[in-house]
Every structure is written in structure tokens, then in C-alpha cells.
Structure 1
Amino acid sequence: MNDLDLATELADLADSISYRHFVAQDFTVETKPDLTPVTECDRAVESAIMDRLNRERPEDSVLGEEFGSHGTSPRRWIVDPIDGTKNFVRGVPIWATLISLYDGQTPIIGMVSAPALGRRWWAAAGHGAFTSALEEPAKRIRVSDVDSLGDASMSYASLSGWKELGILDEFLGLCDSLWRTRGYGDFYSYMLLAEGAVDIACEPELELYDMGALVPIVLEAGGTFTNTAGAPGPFGGNALASNSRLQERALDRLGRVAPNIARTDTQS
């Protein structure tokens, strides 16, 4: 079985667990030390994926949001069992399982499955990005060709993180320069970007498992994915992604500031 086929089966497995609990709302919610919510469904999905990877790819390493990192191979699967847990627990359908495979820092596979939306997005390096709806054939997706901030639409996360990063004024200035802004949030911002429905997507603070699956899909759709300082990929602590045409101007508007994680590392 090739890596993309395996990622597809992992997404099917995740959906079979998460969606029925979402519909039934039959789970308990706990608060993790970082004050974010977690359910037994998050853990059940991640456990099922890890068990399958252990059988199918025992030589690969894995990183999951709930159970951490295992193995030392540069080939690493990165899993967020439920991205958008706050939506999940409130009955909002914008949540997904994120699965990716990297070789070192090189993205190989990205898979985003959102069963409550009836949608899935995926990409394999060098083979383009795709989406499908339930019972519908897959279609290739591509970022927009909007090349002016004044004509651009941006999707973002909450305002509080931009204040904590110290660039709320710069962020609001970027918003003022755009045609349209909406707070779709989480994985969905980046999938809308890959489809060409929005032109910029950004979040001020993220973990690797939040971004791993998004990067290959955005890149294969023709987009650019960096952190707010301009460092490419999902390893920089936050995200600014665009249709590529707008990337440098958006970075300039935000001041090319390093995320808080980078600042902390510098000061320690």
C-alpha cells in the first residue's frame, strides 16, 4: 500500500470513530494543562491511527497531539485527531482529522478529513491537491490568482492571539487593506485558500500537528505557507499562507515578526 492510500484509510478510520460521537454528543470533555479541551474521542481517534501505523509502517516515527512523539525515523507521520475540538464539543461542524507524512522537513502527504462537512482534502508531493465531497468524484484544486491586497479575501483565527504576539495593530492594518475578512478559523481557512475561495489565511500561534497536513495541500495547490517571520513550512510556531502572489506584501504588513515561541527561545 502506498503512503497516500494508507493516509486515506487512516482518515476513513478516524471518521468512523469521530463522526458518530459528534452526532450523538455522547462524550465527556476534559481540560488539558494548556487549558484547551480534549475528549475521549480525540484520544480514541489518535490511538486507532497510531495502532494502524504501528502495523503498516513500523519503521516510521509518529507525532500526535495527545500522545506525543514516538520513534526516531526522519519519516514521520504527524496527527491531529480532531483539529477544532472547541467546535466539536459545541456541535459546530468545522472540525477535521489532520494526517501528514514528512521526510525530515520535506512534506510528502497531507490529508484533511472533515466528515461533518462531508468534505476531504489531500495532496501528495508533486501530484497536486484535490478535494472531494460525499459521493462525488475528486477534483483538483488551485489557489486564486488575485494579486492585489485590495481585492483579496482573508480568513483568520481570533484576535486575542495577535494581541499576545504584539502585532494587533499591524494585523488590523492588514485587515483594513483587504477587500474582505472572515474568521472561518482552524484547518478550514487553509482549505478555502487551497480551493481559491480565500486568498490569505493566518493564525498567530500554532503547533506542528495543527499545520503539518495543511502545508502540502496549500503548496500543491500553488500557494505559499510560512510563519509570520517568513520561514517556510509548519515548523515556525504560527502561519501566514497565501496564493503566493500576496505573500510578501502580507508579511510586510505584519512586520515580519517572529512568533512568540521563537522569541522565548531567543531570550532563554
Structure 2
Amino acid sequence: MAETLTGGISAAALRRERLSRRQQAFRADFRAKIGRLYHGWVHVALIYAIGGAAIWYAARQVVAPAWYEWLVVPLAFLGANIFEWWIHKYVMHRPLKGFMGIYKRHTLAHHQFFTETEYTIDNARDFRIVFFPPYALITFLALSLVPCLLLQALGFPDAGWLLLITNTALYLNYELFHFCCHVKDDRIVRHIPFINTIRRHHAAHHDTAIMMERNFNLTYPIADWLFGTSDLKRGLLGHMLNGYGTAHRRTDLKQVRHGTDDPQAGRPRLMAAE
């Protein structure tokens, strides 16, 4: 059965209207350059196989951690959340020497492929613009080994392995949440706590009017709340459990394509009727 809006307009027709000619052209060009042998689900399987193997190996090295060694888990979680915010704000959106590859992939590709009016994928080949390449995880694991080995050298071997496990799990969490931000809206994703929150949070970030200033977290909007870069004005718990709500959206945001009185501003477009 064709997907329709409550007003009877087909979702496909509305989607074509939302896609600007520029976005349509960019998507067509990007897809044409994807290798013929590329398979989205193989891409995802490689990432989670590598990450899962790293977690499995590290977990087997943990023997009997002292209570204080477990503190590395919440500290790593908070540190990763702030780093996620920092690299998104100060590296992914800025043409810095030595990091142009990241800038081109994110700002010049990802933000052209996805806009605030149409930010969902069409098929598994579009995974190429959503997920990091598998070698990015390998590089991340190599870098994560440095503090892991340092903690071991300082006499906290289990803390080192717990740190590696936590960092790897958070990387996989990032990939999952970002994927969920760009899939079609349905009855599942719109009702899963945290995921529905980050979907709205990230959809708002794709608004070109505020993308340089707001909503840099891709997992849990803790750092955005902490540093005042969220498009919402509410407490931490409210941020975490906001879902698709726009009642607390700031009224002083820059505007380009829509005003803040638009009930759809800063939230995922709910395509299917319940």
C-alpha cells in the first residue's frame, strides 16, 4: 500500500517537492561515484565485526578489576561525549589544514546529501554517506590502545582494557544512532527513547541556518546541553528524553528556510499516518 500523509498527499510526491534541484543533482553524482562492488550491509557488517572482535578480545583480558578501575567507564563515557561534540563543532565543520578530508566528507558531502527538509536514505547503497569507512574504526582502535597501554604501565591493567571496551562500544553506539537519524521515519524509531531524541536533535542540526552553531552531539546531547549549543532550552533530563517535541525550542535561532512557528521546524518529518 502506498505511504500517504493524513491529508492524502503521497509521501513520494512530498519528498520530490522537498528535494531541491541542487540536492537531487548532488545525490545523483555521489551515487554514481560509489563503486559497483560496494554493498551497504557488508560495510556495516565489517564495522561491527571489527568492533565486536575488539570488545571480545579486550573483555577476555579483564581479570579482577578493583572498584576504582570501573570508574574509567563513566569517565570515558563523558569524555567521549565531549570529544564527539568538540570534533563535530571544531573539525568537521571547519576547513582546517591537515583535516580537510574530514571537512570535505562531512560538510561538503554529508550536509549536501542530507538537508533539514530531506535527510533520509533510500537504500543500502546510501550507507556509504552515513557510516564511517571500516579503516576509521581500525585507526580509532589503534589510538585507543595508547591510553589502554598507559594505564597498564601505571599498574591498572583491567582499567586499560575496560577503557578500550568502553571506547569501542561508544564508537559502535555512534554509528548506530547516526544510522537511525537517517532512516525513514516509522512507528519503531519514533518511539525508542534516546533514538527519537537524537533524530530530532540531528535533523535540526542539518538546517543550514544553525548547523555551525547548534546540535553537535550525535549520541546523547549532554555536551550540547553543557556548553549551551543545543537548540532547546531545558534541563539535562529534558534534553535526553525530549523525543520529537519542539515546545522547548529556542526562539532566538537563526532562520533561513522556515520560522520557529513552523510546527515541523527542527523535527523529523513524520511521513506515514499512524
Tell whether the structures are fold-level matches, with TM greater than 0.5.
no
Q: How high is the TM-score relative to the length of structure 1? A: 0.29
Comparing both structures, which one devotes a greater share of its residues to strand? 1
Instruction: Kindly indicate which of the two structures has a greater share of residues assigned to helix.
Output: 2
TM-score, normalization: structure 2? Answer: 0.28
Task: Answer with 1 or 2: which has the greater Rg.
Answer: 2
